[in-house]
Amino acid sequence: MLKGLSLFANVGIAEAYLESIGVDILIANEIDVKRAKFYQHIYQKTNMIVGDITDENIRGKIINEAKDKNVDFIIATPPCQGMSIAGKMEDFDKRNQLVHYAIDVIKQVKPRFVLLENVPRQLKTKIKVGDEILLIPEYIKAELSGEYNFNEETLVKAMNYGVPQMRKRNIFLLSRKDTGIHWEFPEKKNIVTLSEALKNVPSLDPILREGEELTLEKFPDYLIKKKEGGKVSKWHFPPSHSWKMVEWMVHTPSGSTAFDNEIYYPQKAGGVRIKGHYNHYRRHNWNKPSRSITQNNGVISSLTCVHPGYLISDDCTEEGRRYSDARVFSIYELMIITSLPLDWDIPDWAGETFIRKAIGEGIPSLLVKEIMLGLIKQL
């Protein structure tokens, strides 16, 4: 069994299947107290070190603990918001510098294997190292290529490994040279579409922020659907949205954006069109995996967040064209799309917004499992 350390651990989404395949995460580090508490609820055997990895005392504690427990595998998933196209992409965002501290831990612990994950834009992102400005990949290889073999291809799509989500990532797979192992991505698997992934998940109507009275007026089956959803999972409950946004999406077909509507388009008071990205107010497509789940996945207006929906009626007019599920994905649906185990023990105290953000920032569990199985087969 590999003995592991998880850096920037979030709530442990990447680790969901690791113990079952022979990877024992003994130590984890997370700066956010609430996320660390969530992580510890699920992985009770792991020693969670709560604190800022840039703090020398915290980093020293992580390193010493890892050495004491003979850690031979490190997974590090530094925050991506400074590089992500869903973020501001500011030059030299301080979060982009966090990879430096992960590298310091790796150099001192010297594990046999390392998985370093981030968004594809990491390949083109520069950081400051002393007086130098380097691309992050240049920096990582300059620091570690003396002792480690690197994978040749670093870009990977989660959808190629059984995850019903496109999510493209840049992942460095490092194997210490004395292992004699060259760690590459495993063979691709069949793509899973949303129609396959969500085929047994009941439809839900949203709860309107204007209140239950209007909700029942607009969606007479709301309570029946809510009850059926609850039978599947306590996490399959109706998201809350404003009626104006819901109405736009009711008339928007699967895979389309409300910006293409001629009547029910995103608008301000007086019918003035709202300007936005072409993937805002967009429904997912049943015939494809989901687009990347972001931390803002609970907001209809964010990047492709709306359920694909089922056709209710269509008389060839926009007014008569109606689709169900004019809402974002439920927590339960997000678990499926992120390939989390459906019995994953989310703590009851965790709020919806908090869970959504944590899932949106996590690397799909099944992708990590498949990559790690590729390594384990060589050991």
- Maximum distance among all alpha carbons in the chain? 69
Active-site residue, selected from the candidate residues 2, 26, 80, 201: 80
Q: Are 192 and 160 in contact (CB under 8 A)?
A: no
Q: The tokens of 224 are what?
A: 């029946």
How much is the pLDDT for 95? 52
Q: Sign of the CA dihedral 167, 15, 28, 178?
A: negative
In angstroms, the CA 154 to CA 123 distance is: 9
How much is the pLDDT for 83? 40
List, for residues 6-36, the tens digit of each pLDDT value.
999 999 999 999 999 999 999 999 999 999 9
Strands (E), the chain: 2-7, 23-30, 47-50, 73-76, 113-118, 126-129, 132-135, 148-150, 155-157, 168-176, 207-208, 240-241, 311-313, 322-323
Domain boundaries, the chain: 2-189+365-376, 205-329
Known active-site residue 305: no
How much is the pLDDT for 280? 96
Cα-trace Rg, the chain? 22
How much is the pLDDT for 221? 98
How much is the pLDDT for 39? 98
In angstroms, the CA 71 to CA 67 distance is: 6
How much is the pLDDT for 84? 43
CATH of segment(s) 2-189+365-376: 3.40.50.150
Residues of the chain with pLDDT under 50: 80-89
Q: The tokens of 325 are what?
A: 């599920």
Alpha helices in the chain (DSSP H): 33-42, 56-68, 99-109, 136-144, 194-197, 212-218, 222-232, 243-250, 331-337, 352-360, 365-376
In the DSSP assignment, the letter for residue 213 is H
Helix (H, G, I), strand (E, B) or coil at 373: helix
Closest CA to 360 of 16, 86, 40: 86
List, for residues 179-197, the tens digit of each pLDDT value.
999 999 999 999 999 999 9
Q: What is the pTM of this model?
A: 0.93
How much is the pLDDT for 91? 55
Closest CA to 159 of 192, 130, 186: 192
